[in-house]
Amino acid sequence: MAQIFDRSSNALARMSLVLTGLIVIALGITLDEWQRSPWWTHQGQRADQPVPFSHKHHVQGLGLQCQYCHTSVENSSYAGIPPTKTCMNCHAQIWTNADLLVPVRQSWATGESIVWTKVHDLPDYVYFNHEIHVNKGFGCSTCHGRVDEMPIMYQQNTLQMEWCLNCHRNPAVNLRPESEIYNMAWTGPSELKPVWCAVKQQAQTGVPTGQDVTCTENDPSGGSGGGLASLQMPAGLHAQTTASDAGGAAAVPAVLNYQKFTSQEELGKFLIGQYRIRNPRELSSCEVCHR
């Protein structure tokens, strides 16, 4: 009986085996890349909004404090989207005829909400809480990016679980002094730009809170230099920083024992202790975000 398959079929068979394997692997890689792609995660995408609100203009240009609009960020899981009233505080007087602001004025006149599209939209089974992050030394820009440089709001990070866990497993990489929470330009200490921190007396509450750590970029021992980050920024945005610096430096300089930090790792470790950040095992436990 003659052979049905030619000898070359062996090679074809082997090749198709290899090919199948490759296709499976390629498919896996494709799917993995696809679910990390901005199309899937919305990262970097600018949604159509009724008003092309520019954070850049309002934050960098005008120096509005984040909490002027996002009022409940320190007190609630939800940072808050400003009511139309907040817009109208100013826009009842300036740009009162701007075409761009028609939806705002319409909302004010009719009592209908301005319908924004959510930019940072976590799945419903994730219970993120702004309050605890902001009170434990996580700045806005850590997650939201340089909002002050975004003419149109977009999602800087993937907001995927992997990304959350990166920090929950090692919070030190992102911790910053409480005074720098709303500082968009904060980049952490370095050799060139060290940060000095000290622990204040726990006079008011009796229990230490994040507010009891005071930090400064100016050498508290009176040396020159430092303050580079704040120099880049308009003075208004740093009112809080300078005030607390002044308070820390002037009011009780003798008591405070400043420590110098030249790297984010060091500062992070120090702040983990001071803020009593839970350990990675606790922070990455499922029930922290899912219930």
Nearest CA to 64 among 75, 55, 51, 72? Answer: 55
Nearest residue (CB) to another protein, 180 versus 212: 212
- Does position 278 interact with another protein (CB under 8 A)? The reply is yes
| Cross-strand bridge partners of residue 43 | 155
Residue 43: phi and psi, rounded to 5, are: -60, 130
CA-CA distance, 39 to 34, in Å (whole number)?
8
With CB under 8 A as the contact rule, the residue among 135, 141, 174, 179 that binds another protein is 135
Nearest residue (CB) to another protein, 218 versus 275: 275
Determine the residue type at 231.
L
Task: State the minimum distance, in angstroms, from the CB of residue 27 to another protein.
Answer: 14
166 within 8 A of 263, measured Cβ to Cβ: no
User: Given phi > 0 = left and psi -120 to 50 = alpha, else beta, which region is 225?
Assistant: left
With CB under 8 A as the contact rule, the residue among 108, 154, 196, 270 that binds another protein is 108
With CB under 8 A as the contact rule, the residue among 36, 43, 46, 47 that binds another protein is 47
Stretch that binds another protein, among 138-146, 150-158, 254-262, 270-278 (CB under 8 A): 270-278
- Does position 201 interact with another protein (CB under 8 A)? The reply is no
Side-by-side strand order, sheet with 259-261: 213-216, 195-199, 259-261
What residues make contact with another protein under the rule CB under 8 A? 39-40, 42, 47, 72, 75-78, 80-85, 107-108, 111-118, 121, 123-125, 127, 129, 131-132, 135-136, 205, 207-210, 275-276, 278, 281-282, 285-288, 290-291
